[in-house]
């Protein structure tokens, strides 16, 4: 009796962080941008590219520092920890070479902004995806 | 003057832009800052360790624990008028040449983003001669407490008043940036012999940086007209010049004697006197020629060693491989110039591993002198003394001239010897050879802040001058290894 329950609980505990960690990189449903690779997304979010591979301006938006998906996104997509990303932007900011993406609250705020702006690109928890946005990369 | 006007013009344009942006209430204005609180302790108290040629004192002799070596505070305002025009002002407070922490205007430049790949800057900007030139003062952006001083001491300027063009070329997986820049730069350098002024005029440079995935490669070249002068060097070279003028007079005197002896030799005089006159004429002509050669040699020493608007160049190659979990970074640099300031080659190799919030790192850095640290100096007058004349009243005036020339030669040679000795002291003071081994750890203690602990072991080659040291005291033994302990907290906001 007890064993399946314990097992189920254990499996849930193990899966929970993984399930929560799924990140969707999104653009507006109105955007013509196609699927992107992690490298391409990384280029846009690290300020190395300001356009989509198929053309068109790409404006990245970040979630607030400390928001759940943020650390996950950078670790998975750019391979950099939050501290590394911070140090990376410090290099660019204080050498006058670039500005980090604008910070826009959480999943909901990012989704709403992106839905209305076809040139923007952001990331949210996969569970928050709806028809107003299009997933271009899933991690 | 022109330079100041230009900086002032760009500065006021930026202030105007700021107030406009403020009025709009938009977020096109960003005020950010960076800083370091650091302390350094040195194992010797007979010399000061410092991190820039413009720092007058440091850890060791002046301070047992020095908070002034690495501590600094920077404020940066970024303004954006529209997608094309933006501007940056950066003010830094750190230990200056005059021992104060008076804030200095590090940058004030306007940027025009002409196309998505082409931008221009004008005003005061970073002098981009090193791999980490433009964020070298931002501790948080660097793995170490400070960039390896052996390499970063070579060019004593951090900013440039001028303009640049930056072009970015994306080809497949390679992103290459070309930066061409020009302008002028100036700095004050405190020395034991007074405050020197260092200046680079007509500076022109080109950098090419390629990013290929985790690999960054950089090559840079810059040339300038370099001046490095101060009260001591000016007095020194003026003494050489005065001496050259003195030698000219002596040569003229010897030539007069030669001419006088020759014309006296035309007179109907007894044979022994004619022989003596002829000998005098010959030896006086030789002395005149020799003195002229010495005067030339003295002037060529001034020409060769005085750092007055002389051609200078700096070449640097850099590489960084940073896949995330670890990094390795190296730079190789070469400084050349046509003056008593030494030509140098310097390089470092550094690497670190990121283990969670900790990044232990190690660096080996080295600098050596490429130019000669000794000189024979100007050649003395070596012709034999002018031969004397028989003591007869008719030749007394001529003999007086001979005595004057013969008496002047040793005096000139003695002064020349002293100056040549001084030249060698100055050349040796430019001796740079040393190496440094660094071990440290960076701890990303919290968001926007790191703590670093660093140990450096400095060894000066051949009992040299100690390039990164100052205020060396009697009894300081340059052959002995120096241990430096640094603790720093870096932050950005």
pLDDT digits over B130-142, tens only? 999 889 999 999 9
| pLDDT tens-place string over residues B382-419 | 999 999 999 999 899 999 999 999 999 999 999 999 99
What residues have CB less than 8 Å from B263, skipping those under 6 apart?
none
Q: Helix, strand, or coil here: B267?
A: coil
ipTM: 0.74
d(CA B307, CA B296): 19
Residue-wise burial string across B236-260, b where 16 or more C-beta atoms lie within 10 A, e elsewhere = bbebbeebbebbbebbebbbbbbeb
CA-nearest residue of chain B to A42? Answer: B213
Return the structure tokens found at A40: 């391409």
Contact A48 B140 (CB under 8 A): no
Q: Which residues of A touch B135 (CB under 8 A)?
A: 90-91, 94-95
Contact A93 B76 (CB under 8 A): yes
pTM of the complete model: 0.86
What confidence score (pLDDT) does residue B10 get? 58
Q: How far is A138 from chain B (nearest CA, A)?
A: 21
Averaged pLDDT, B20-45: 80
| pLDDT tens-place string over residues B362-379 | 999 999 999 999 999 999
Q: What is the average pLDDT value for chain B, to the nearest integer?
A: 92
Tally of CA atoms within 13 A in the half-sphere of B481 that contains its CB: 8
Residue-wise burial string across B179-206, b where 16 or more C-beta atoms lie within 10 A, e elsewhere = bebbbbbebbbbeeeeebebbbeebebb
Averaged pLDDT, B70-97: 94
CA-nearest residue of chain B to A90? Answer: B141
**Confidence class of residue A54 from pLDDT cuts 50, 70 and 90?**
confident
What confidence score (pLDDT) does residue A10 get? 56
| pLDDT tens-place string over residues A101-119 | 988 888 999 999 999 999 9
Q: What is the average pLDDT value for chain A, to the nearest integer?
A: 84
Contact A94 B111 (CB under 8 A): no
Q: Where are the beta strands (DSSP E) in B213-339?
A: 215-229, 310-321, 326-337
Q: How far is CA A60 from CA A101, A117, B169, in A?
A: 6, 11, 21
d(CA A69, CA A23): 7
Q: Which residues of B touch A95 (CB under 8 A)?
A: 126, 133-135
| pLDDT tens-place string over residues B213-255 | 889 999 999 999 999 999 999 999 999 999 999 999 999 999 9
Q: How many residue pairs from chains A and B have C-beta atoms closer than 8 A?
A: 67
Give me the residue label for tokens 């002509």: B285
**Confidence class of residue B19 from pLDDT cuts 50, 70 and 90?**
low
| Domains delineated in chain A | 34-138 (3.40.190.10)
| Domains delineated in chain B | 39-67+149-232+307-374+429-492 (2.40.160)
DSSP bridge pairs for A42? none
Return the structure tokens found at B188: 């004050």
The neighbour count for residue A117, using CB atoms within 10 Å, is 16
Percent of chain A with pLDDT over 90: 40
**Confidence class of residue A129 from pLDDT cuts 50, 70 and 90?**
very high
- Please work out, in degrees rounded to the nearest 5, the angle formed at the alpha carbon of residue B417 by the alpha carbons of B247 and B284: 35
A94 → closest Cβ in B135, B170, B450: B135
A90 → closest Cβ in B90, B121, B138: B138
């Amino acid at each position: 009796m007890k064993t399946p329950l314990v097992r189920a609980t254990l499996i849930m505990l193990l899966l929970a962080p993984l399930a929560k960690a799924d990140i969707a990189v999104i653009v507006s449903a109105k955007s013509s941008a196609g699927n992107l690779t992690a490298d391409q997304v990384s280029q846009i979010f690290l300020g190395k590219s300001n356009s989509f591979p198929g053309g068109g301006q790409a404006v990245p938006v970040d979630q607030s520092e400390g928001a759940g998906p943020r650390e996950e996104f950078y670790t998975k997509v750019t391979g950099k920890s939050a501290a590394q990303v911070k140090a990376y932007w410090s290099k660019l900011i204080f050498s006058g070479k670039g500005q980090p993406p604008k910070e826009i609250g959480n999943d909901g705020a990012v989704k709403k902004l992106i839905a209305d702006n076809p040139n923007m690109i952001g990331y949210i928890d996969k569970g928050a995806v709806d028809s107003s946005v299009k997933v271009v990369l899933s991690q | 003057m022109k330079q100041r006007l230009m900086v002032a013009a760009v500065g006021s344009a930026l202030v105007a832009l700021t107030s406009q942006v403020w009025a709009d209430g938009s977020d096109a204005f960003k005020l950010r800052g960076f800083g370091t609180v650091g302390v350094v302790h040195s194992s010797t108290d007979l010399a000061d360790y410092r991190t820039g040629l413009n720092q007058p004192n440091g850890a060791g002799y002046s301070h047992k624990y020095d908070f002034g070596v690495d501590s600094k505070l920077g404020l940066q305002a970024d303004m954006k008028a529209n997608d094309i025009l933006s501007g940056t002002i950066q003010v830094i407070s750190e230990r200056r040449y005059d021992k104060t922490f008076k804030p200095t205007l590090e940058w004030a430049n306007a940027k025009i983003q002409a196309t998505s790949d082409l931008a221009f800057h004008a005003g005061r900007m970073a002098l981009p001669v090193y791999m980490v030139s433009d964020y070298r003062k931002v501790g948080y952006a660097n793995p170490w407490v400070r960039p390896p001083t052996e390499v970063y001491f070579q060019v004593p300027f951090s900013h440039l008043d001028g303009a640049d063009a930056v072009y970015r070329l994306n080809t497949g997986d390679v992103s290459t940036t070309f930066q061409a820049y020009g302008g002028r730069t100036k700095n004050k350098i405190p020395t034991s012999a007074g405050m020197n002024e260092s200046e680079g005029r007509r500076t022109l440079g080109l950098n090419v940086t390629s990013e290929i995935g985790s690999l960054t490669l950089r090559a840079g070249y810059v040339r300038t007209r370099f001046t490095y002068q101060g009260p001591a060097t000016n007095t020194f070279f003026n003494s050489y010049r005065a001496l050259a003028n003195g030698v000219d007079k002596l040569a003229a005197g010897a030539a007069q004697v030669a001419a006088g002896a020759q014309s006296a030799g035309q007179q109907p005089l007894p044979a022994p006197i004619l022989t003596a006159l002829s000998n005098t004429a010959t030896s006086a002509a030789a002395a005149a020629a020799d003195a002229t050669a010495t005067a030339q040699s003295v002037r060529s020493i001034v020409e060769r060693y005085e750092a007055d608007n002389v051609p200078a160049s700096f070449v640097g190659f850099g590489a960084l491989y940073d896949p995330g979990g670890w990094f390795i970074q190296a730079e190789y640099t070469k400084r050349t110039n046509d003056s008593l300031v030494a030509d140098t080659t310097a390089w470092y190799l550094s690497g670190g591993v990121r283990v969670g919030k900790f990044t232990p790192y190690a660096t080996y850095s080295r600098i050596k002198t490429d130019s000669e640290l000794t000189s024979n100096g100007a050649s003395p007058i070596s012709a034999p003394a002018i031969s004397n004349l028989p003591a007869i009243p008719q030749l007394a005036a001529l003999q007086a001239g001979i005595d004057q020339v013969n008496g002047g030669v040793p005096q000139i040679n003695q002064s020349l010897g002293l100056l040549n000795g001084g030249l060698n002291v100055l050349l040796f003071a430019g001796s740079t050879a040393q190496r440094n081994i660094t071990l440290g750890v960076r701890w990303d203690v919290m968001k926007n802040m790191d703590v670093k602990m660093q140990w450096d072991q400095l060894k000066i080659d051949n009992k040299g001058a100690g390039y990164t040291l100052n205020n060396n005291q009697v009894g300081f033994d340059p052959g002995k290894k120096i241990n430096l302990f640094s603790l720093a907290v870096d932050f950005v906001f």
